[in-house]
Each structure stands twice: as structure tokens, then as C-alpha cells.
Amino acid sequence: MKFKYIVYIICFLVVVLGNYSQAQERLVSVTSNPVLINPGQSIPFKSGIPDTLQLPIRDDFSGFSPYPESIRWTDYNVNINHSFAINPPTYGVATFDAIDSTGTIYSTATVQSFLADALTSLPVNLFLPRDTTIYLSFYYQPQGIGDAPEPEDSLVVEFYAPDNNRWFRIWSTPGSTSHDFRIVMINITDSRFLQKGFRFRFRNYASLSPSYEPSLKVNADHWNLDYVYLNNGRHYNDTIMQDAALVQPVGSLLLNYTAMPWEHFKIAGISAVKAIFQVSLNNLSSDRRVFSPVFRISPVWVAGTGFEKNFQSDEVKAFQTLNYDAAFNYGFTSDDKDSALFEVSLDLNQATPDWIPGNDKIVSEQIFSDYYAYDDGSSEAGYGLVGEGSRTAKLAYRFNNLKSGDSLFAVDFFFNRSFADASRKYFRLAVWADDNNKPGELLYDQDGAIPEYNGINKFQRIKLDTAQVVTGTYYVGWLQTTADFLNVGFDRQNNHGQDIFFNISGTWQTSEFEGSLMIRPVFANKSRKSGIDPADLSHNLNNPVKIYPNPSNDLIRIDCGDQSETIRITLTDLNGRIIRNLRETGPVCKIAVSDLPNGIYLIQVQSDSGIHTRQKLIIIHE
């Protein structure tokens, strides 16, 4: 009997170690959100929040912040996003996983189940003695497009009893593979909870992969939460939400990319723009909903010709999900010189207001900066080459340069974090020419690159020692120096798997995964190392605007002269990501920048009367 067990163990180890040793491309789960803060930076808590919430309480997580709204919740480790769930009830979910608000795997993480994220309500006035009609309801989904929690993991609901000063477990469900969102109804009748100061919270138990390779111990065990609703006057079958909502953003309006260098786009023009985009909405209510969609595109930085289209009125039946294509014709025109930013909005414009009016309008951005991107900036997985033989593996990503006069001078990478930063290994940055739609001649090879973790969804820009002239089709990527998993960000919403090539045994192969690597080639004119022409950085349409001090490390002041009207201030980094988007009243406004890292930013100021300036802002902290 003992001999048989030994044979089983040996066979098991042969299979496991054999699978591990075989070099291959791997895709692992990870989470992200579009946060523009630094790791460890404190999250502002809104002032004026009441001490105790009053019924009803509703949250469908459709706001634009990557964190839970502080008007309802007290912690920030869950990730508010629109990309991890499959067919959610409304736009946006709260995702629980194994990492904190800065993208770092919890220091307490182990291969055994450990307590990870929490979403805790503010105190609630639930002093309703003997009321039997109080229900907490919510929708949940394990995994989604992330990682399936193991059966030993779980999602938990706990209630706080003020008089006992204790939390009690009320509901839980074990981990499983993904399924449709399910609704949970919890009746609250216990007198311990029918008190002022009652609180409720969601928590998850997660576990790391028991991989033999430390760099493969990554974030895991996802749960998606949507439409939390607490109120009295309810019953067990009260599962109807009188709400109609959009369930996905418009997405990139470019045909092949999510972002392009502005000067390159102007060469392609409208031929690089889609003619249609998809509208997806969900009617959760028991009534039909009439809507008249309004679609808008507006230049953000300078005066330009925007676009607006009022689509024909339509209706969505009770409990119906509606998907259809909407057509538009716009070529993105503005007076921007080197980069441009457009605000894109879709508003259902419902005839009858519903429970959460904000979830029937989604605002996004179309970025034109100095880089090409296939990804949308959100990492839902991690990609890499691992196993025996991968120490000399190669990864190449195919792009096409539309402006021969510009040179490739940098490559932006986004790397996910593994536990204890085990995936932080050196690699060689590489550029290849095209050979019959596969990587050909190695044009450039640069030593000394290493993944950096600059925050959740913050890209690392690796500059080439010598800018490279690449024409037509070319490839950027890496040459590995170790067999470790590099864990580059992988966007599962935009499929460019046909442009990903890897080479482990001497032959280039196309990736078997559907999605986009978060690798972005960066271009500039050959005569300068920046995609921004200093001569074009500052101009005024009417009255001059003064921005000082510059450089700054604490406060900047914006002096609009004699004007006292409301102005719009937009601060972006050099990748076009918005850091500040404010409306202030002059003539002098003060903007805090002490929380921003050292670097060069672009600041835009404009008002209804036409005052406008755009210039570099340098942040330097001693």
C-alpha cells in the first residue's frame, strides 16, 4: 500500500515539474484600475459627510473614481472598475482580490486562505424596532474575467452590532468559477442590528498560487460586487431595481488603436476613425424605458470643432438588455499642435428619471499623445514567458509607423507586481524589422532594463540610448536574461493577440491569447528628444494668463488678470493622462501640487470668454 502511494507521488511530481519546466507563454490574473496616484499616497476623504447614513442606501459603483465613494464607505482597497465583470447589471463593479489600493499584494498573503479586501459602510441609522421589512440586497459574481477563487476562499457579509461593539458573520459563499451575477437578499430583524450606528461590510478570503516559480505568485481570487441596496418596506421577492443603465463605455473610436501620436493621426485622418460604436444598456425595472441618446465629442485643450449627434428615440422593454450599433462621422479636428485630448460622452437622456440617474451617462476620453497603444490602460491580466528555455526567450509586439519623419525614442511598459516583487528581473529592450509579417532583423538591442512599479496602471518609460528610424511595420519587445515571469500588463478588452509574437526555441510563434500587451512605442521628431515642441506649448487667445511659480513644489497660482469668471484647469502628464480637472473662479486660483511626483506636466487654462493658455509645468520636490 505504501509503495502504491509512493508511485502516485512520483507520477504527480513528474507531471507537475514537467509542466513547469516546459517553456511557454503564460497568462496570469491581476487587477487594476485607472488610478493616477503614487503607491502609498493617502486618499482624500470628502468633508461634509454625515455621521450616520439614512435609508435608503444604494450604490451601483458607476462613478468615475477608482475607489468606493466616501459618502457611503470607509475603506478603499476594493477596485471600482468597468472591466472585470461579465455582463454586470450596470456600468461599474467593485472587485475584491488579493491586492490593496496601491496595487501591492498584501504582506499577509499566503497559499492558504487569508483575509484580503474589505468594503465597510459608514454607520447607518437602523433604529427601527420590530421592523421586519428591512433587507440588504446585492449582486455578486466570482472570477468574471479574472481569476476564479478556490473553494477554500470565500466572499463574506458581516454586520456590526453597536451595543456589543462586535462584528457578526451573516452570509458567505465559497469560491467557484464564473457564473452570471446572482442576487442575495438578507432580511435584518435581529434587535442587535436595529440600532443607530449599525454597519455592514463585505470581505473576501483569498490565496496565492502554490507555484514553484516565485514570480508566478500573483494577484488572484476575484469577486465582483454590484448594486448594493439597503432599505425598509421590502420583502424577500423585492428584487426589482427601478433603474435603466449603460453597461459598457463607448471605448476607443479609432479603428486599430486606442491612442496614437497626434501628428501621426493627422496624416491618417478620418480613415483611422471608426464609423460605428456599440451601445449596450440594461433595463432592470418592471417598466419600459424611453430614451433619446445624445453622443458628444469635445476638444478639451483648445478651441476646435466638436461633434454632437442626437440619435432617434427608442425604448427598452422591462428586464431587457439591448445592444446595437450607433453610427457617427467625425474626424477629430482641433488646433492642438503636438497632442490632443477629446472628451467623449454618451447620455441615454431618459424620458423618466430613475433610481440612479448618473449611470445612464458615461464620459470617457480619446487621447492623442506621442505613443501608439492597442490597450485601454487597464490591466486585467499579466503576460510573460516562463519555464526551462525561456532564459533566452524573445517577445515582439507588432506596430506600424505612419509618419516616417519621426523616430522611435522610447517604449512605455506597464508591469504588474508579483508577490515580494519576484518578477523584477533585468531584460534587454529590443526593436525588430518586419520579415513577411513576422519579426525579422534585430535593429536595436539595449541592455539594463528592469521593471519598475510606479503605481496602479502607471507606465514606465524606457528611453532608447539612440533614437531609431523605423518605417512601416516594426516590432518592439524584449530579450529575456532570466527564466522569470516578467508579468507585463495584459488588457483583455481589446484583442491584438495576432500582433504578439514569442520565440523560445528559435521560431517565432503567434500568441494564443486574446488581448493586448500594455507596451507602447513612443515617437518624436528626429531633431528633438521630446514629442512636444516648446514653441507651441504656450499661446493665448485673448488676455494673458500667468502661471507661477514654475518650477513649483507646493502651490501654483493661476492669474487671469481682470477676469473673474469660471475657468477650466486641466493638468496632464506627458502621456495625456489627466491628473487634475478643475473648475475655479478667478482672478487668481491656487492649485495644490505637493502630492505630485517630480516631472514635467502640461497645464491647460480656458474660459467661456476665450482666455486660453497651454504650457509646461515642472514639479520639483527638494
Mean pLDDT of all residues belonging to the chain: 84
pLDDT in tens, 428-475: 999 999 999 999 999 999 987 888 876 555 789 999 989 999 989 999
Q: Is the pLDDT of residue 540 over 60?
A: no
Mean pLDDT of 201-206: 96
Task: Return d(Cα 584, Cα 590) in angstroms, integer.
Answer: 9
Residues 121 and 43 in one domain: yes
Residues 455 and 513 in one domain: yes
pLDDT in tens, 370-399: 999 999 988 888 899 988 788 899 999 999
47 by Cβ neighbours in 10 Å (0-12 / 13-18 / 19+) ranks as exposed
Residue 18 falls inside a structural domain: no
Q: Is the pLDDT of residue 280 over 90?
A: yes
Residues 412 and 542 in one domain: no
Residue 29 falls inside a structural domain: no
Task: Return d(Cα 62, Cα 348) in angstroms, integer.
Answer: 14
> What pLDDT, on a 0 to 100 scale, did the predictor assign at position 425?
81
Residue 21 falls inside a structural domain: no
Query: What is the end-to-end Cα distance of the chain in Å, rounded?
Result: 70
Residues 133 and 83 in one domain: yes
> What pLDDT, on a 0 to 100 scale, did the predictor assign at position 222?
92
Query: Residue 448 belongs to a domain with what CATH number?
Result: 2.60.120
- Percent pLDDT > 70 in the chain is 84
Q: Fill in the amino acid letter for 315.
A: E
DSSP string, 257-308: -SEEEHHHHHHHGGGGB-SEEEEEEEE-SSS-EEE--EEEEEESSS----EE
Mean pLDDT of 237-262: 93
CA distances from 217 to 110, 150, 267, 416 (A): 9, 15, 44, 11
> What pLDDT, on a 0 to 100 scale, did the predictor assign at position 46?
42
- List the beta strands (DSSP E) in 377-528: 381-386, 394-401, 406-413, 427-434, 439-449, 460-468, 472-480, 488-491, 500-503, 508-510, 516-517, 519-525
Task: Return d(Cα 340, Cα 329) in angstroms, integer.
Answer: 19
pLDDT in tens, 295-350: 999 998 876 678 999 999 999 999 999 999 999 999 998 877 788 999 999 999 99
Residues 482 and 573 in one domain: no
> What pLDDT, on a 0 to 100 scale, did the predictor assign at position 376?
92
Cβ atoms within 10 Å, residue 381: 25
Q: Fill in the amino acid letter for 157.
A: V
CA 186 to chain CA centroid, nearest Å: 31
Q: By the 8 A CB rule, do 283 and 244 touch? A: yes
Query: Residue 258 belongs to a domain with what CATH number?
Result: 2.60.40.10
Residue 421 falls inside a structural domain: yes
Residues 297 and 436 in one domain: no
Given 231, 264, 286, which residue is the final one in a domain?
A: 231
Over the range 351-367, which residues count as b (16 or more CB within 10 Å of their CB) and which as e?
A: eeebbbeebbbbebebb
Residue 23 falls inside a structural domain: no
| Neighbouring C-alpha atoms within 13 Å toward the C-beta of 547 | 26
Pairing of strands 381-386, 314-316: unpaired
Given 499, 525, 551, which residue is the final one in a domain?
A: 525
Give the model's confidence band at 182: pLDDT under 50 very low, under 70 low, under 90 confident, else very high: very high
Which of 1-5, 168-172, 315-319 tops mean pLDDT? 168-172
The sign of the CA dihedral 215, 27, 461, 396 is positive
Residues 363 and 507 in one domain: no
- List the beta strands (DSSP E) in 121-252: 124-125, 135-142, 154-161, 166-174, 182-187, 196-206, 223-231, 244-246
- DSSP annotation of 360 reads G
Report the domain count for the chain.
Answer: 4
> What pLDDT, on a 0 to 100 scale, did the predictor assign at position 409?
92
Range of the domain at 549: 537-619
Residues 299 and 390 in one domain: no
